[in-house]
Amino acid sequence: GAMGGSASLIPRDLLGEYQELTFLSKQEILLAYKRFSELLPKEERESACSARVPKSQIVTLPELRANPFQHRICHVFSTSETGDDSMSFEDFLDMLSVFSDSATSDIKSHYAFRIFDFDDDGTLDRKDLEQLVNCLTGQGEESRLSSAEMEQLIQNILEESDIDRDGTINLSEFQHVVSRSPDFASSFKIVL
Write the pLDDT tens digit of every residue in 81-138: 999 999 999 999 999 999 999 999 999 999 999 999 999 999 999 999 999 999 888 7
Q: Do domains 12-99 and 105-188 have the same CATH topology?
A: yes
Partner residues linked to 88 by β-bridges = 52
| Cα 132 to the center of its chain, rounded Å | 14
- How far, in Å, CA of 8 to CA of 15, rounded? 10
CATH (residue range 12-99)? 1.10.238.10
Partner residues linked to 169 by β-bridges = 124
Domains of the chain, residue spans? 12-99, 105-188
Please, what CATH class does the domain formed by 105-188 belong to? mainly alpha
Q: Tens digits of per-residue pLDDT, 24-47? A: 999 999 999 999 999 999 999 988
